[in-house]
Structures are given as C-alpha cells and as structure tokens.
Structure 1
Amino acid sequence: MKIADTDVLILAGLGGSGPGHWQRRWGERFPHAHFVEHDEWDRPELGPWISTIERAIMMATRPVVVVAHSLAVSALVHTAQRLVDTKVRGAFLVAPPDHESADLPREAAAFGHVPRDPLPFPSMLVASTNDPFCSVERAVDFATCWGSDFHLAGEAGHINLASGHGPWPEGLLMFSRLMQRLEG
C-alpha cells in the first residue's frame, strides 16, 4: 500500500505533539495526513477521544493507516473494539503507556483497562528499552495480545521531543516496513 493512496490519521498523546515532534513533521510530509485534534489535550477524557477518533476514521475517503503515539495508542485500542467493517488497514503504535505504571501522569488514568483483544487490522508496535512509562516486557505483552509486529527502538526514551526525537528517521523506516506489509 502506498502512502499516497491512504489517509494517514495521526493520533497524538497527552498534551498533543507540539511543533518539531516527529508526528507533526510526518504530518507535513505525507500527502494525505490528517492530525486528529481533540478538544482537551491536557485533561483528556476517554469517551470524547474515542468518538473523535471514530469520526475521523469514518470521514476518511481512502483506506486509513493510523500513526498513534503514547496515550493515543490506548485510545485507539479502545476505539478498535467499536469499529465494525473498518476502513483502517493498519496502525503504527509508538510508545504505548502502561496504565499500571506509577510513573504515568494521573491525567492518563481514565484510559486504563486497555482491551487485550487482537486488533482488527495489522499493526506494528514500537517500544524503547528505557521508556519511563512502559517496560519492554509490558510492551511485548501488548504486542502479543493485539497481534502486533514488535520492534525495539533501543534506548529511545518515550520517543518524543524530550527524548531527542524530532524527525525520527529510524521510525520512518519502521513505518515504511509496515506499509510494505500492507501491500501483501
């Protein structure tokens, strides 16, 4: 599947992905990318986030590939349970949070109890060996439950601007591998 033939929905986590973040950069680079905006970035509520994501998927005019980071991974997994005959052809899941972690911001608590059912579309989960919000073991567990391909990004922190990931070219290569898989 070619990126030009898809609507790439970019889902940011808590606080949104600000200027310079790899998600914003990718959104500017992909021809049909749509950054999904939420009314509340700093005190998110699960229900409205699910509705916004579901609406963005339904409004897409081409097959959808989702690029989700952090809390948005949890939101997408919750949303996936509601999708029937979806347009979503694949998802790139980066730095999922472990809602059982004591280090996770309390604003993310409402997104807990993340479903463990397989996702209804192919996916790749990318995790870091030193993410303060999710251990490698927990990320592998998520990937296994969701049926996601798993990729370890090394010591990459939370894979955001704070951990030095502005353009994140390595991530773009991983995303390209997912897109190649979707061609088959």
Structure 2
Amino acid sequence: MHGTRILLLPGWQNSGPDHWQSRWERLHGDQRVEQADWEWPRRGDWMARLDEVLQASDTSAVLVAHSLGCHLVAAWAAHSRHTARVRGALLVAIPDVERADMPPQLHNWRPIVRQRLPFAALAVLSTDDPYGDLPRTEAIAGAWGAPVQLAGPRGHLNGDSGLGDWPEGRALLQSL
C-alpha cells in the first residue's frame, strides 16, 4: 500500500470511536472522508465530496467503505470521471437500502446502483447482518463485480461487533 492513500468511507451517522474504521484512522493514519451531513445523507452531496477528496491529491487511493459508504462507492463510480484515481475498494457490511424498514433518511439512496465497479473490489459480509439479507447483499456485491468474503455471524461489522482493530480486515485490505 506504499504510496497509496487509504480513504475511509463511513456509513450513515459516521463511525464512532470503537468502530474499526476509527481505530484504523488512529493506528494507520488512514484518512476519513468527512461528510457535511451524517444524519440526512444525500447521495449527490456525498458523491461530490468523495470526488473532491480524490482530486485533492495526485496519489492514488484505496477506498475502505462501511455500510452506506459501500453504496457511495458504487454511485460515485457510476458517475465520476475520476475512477482511475482508485486502485481498489474494500466494501464492508453492504446494507440493503431498498428494504421497506430502512429509515427515511436513507430513501434517497434508492434505487441501488448496480453497475460493475471499474476497479478491483472485495465485499466482506456478515452472515447475520441486521441491515441486509445475505443472499440479497451477495447479489448486490455480485452486480458490482466484488467477490464476497464471509465474516461469519458478526452483526453489522461495526463497533458493536467486537472486532477491535480488526486485523483480519486489514489483511483483506492488503490483499487488494
């Protein structure tokens, strides 16, 4: 990963201090892409912010997305002219934002972008994620061209999942 920026893309409501993304930021110096509104995320605004961060440096990047951040990667890649700046993406805990029980704050992320990603990607999914039925999230990852790595029954793979610094996830990132 030498010479490559690691950009952390948290999901809805950001990643708290115990989340593996926040730990990676502290441990490895990865860069969180801050969004103007974490509570009412607007897809277009989040896409524009990612494009802005990617263009702010000549260094290529690997995207490390959690939850809604995964949908940000797909939506951004389908519309940006700067996808060559991305070397790959680790997509963790893809939620199904088209489910009827999703909060209204996430409705503008519908429909799910299902275009193949123009760079290497790997999806890490839990077998008991409360925000996405496994067959459905596997199908979303497949549409994006991202092979799936199952993490077992680990919930939403967030701060409540007991992952700590999540060295297994870091190893998967290195494999990209």
Query: 1:57 touches 1:87 (CA, 8 Å); kept in 2?
Result: yes
1:99 aligns with 97
Count of aligned pairs between the two proteins: 175
1:149 aligns with 147
Find 1:63's aligned residue among 60, 63, 83. 60
Q: 1:1-184, aligned counterparts within 5 Å?
A: 3-31=1-29, 33-85=30-82, 86-178=84-176
Work out the percentage of aligned pairs sharing the same amino acid: 37
Gaps of 5+ in 1: 179-184
Whole-angstrom distance in 1 between the partners of 2:132 and 2:46 = 21
Q: Give SS of 1:4's match.
A: coil
Deviates further, 150-159 or 166-175: 166-175
**Which letter maps to 2:51?**
E
Query: 2:98 touches 2:111 (CA, 8 Å); kept in 1?
Result: no
Whole-angstrom distance in 2 between the partners of 1:40 and 1:150 = 30
CA displacement, residues 145-184 of structure 1 (integer Å, 9 cap, x when unaligned): 1111211110010000122233222212222222xxxxxx
Cα RMSD after superposing both structures: 1.4
Compute the TM-score of the two structures, normalised by the length of structure 2. Answer: 0.93
Query: 2:116 touches 2:143 (CA, 8 Å); kept in 1?
Result: yes
Q: Give SS of 2:87's match.
A: strand
Shift of 1:29: 2.6
Whole-angstrom distance in 2 between the partners of 1:104 and 1:96 = 13
Shift of 1:83: 2.2
Whole-angstrom distance in 2 between the partners of 1:93 and 1:156 = 15
Compute the TM-score of the two structures, normalised by the length of structure 1. Answer: 0.89
**Which letter maps to 1:58?**
Q
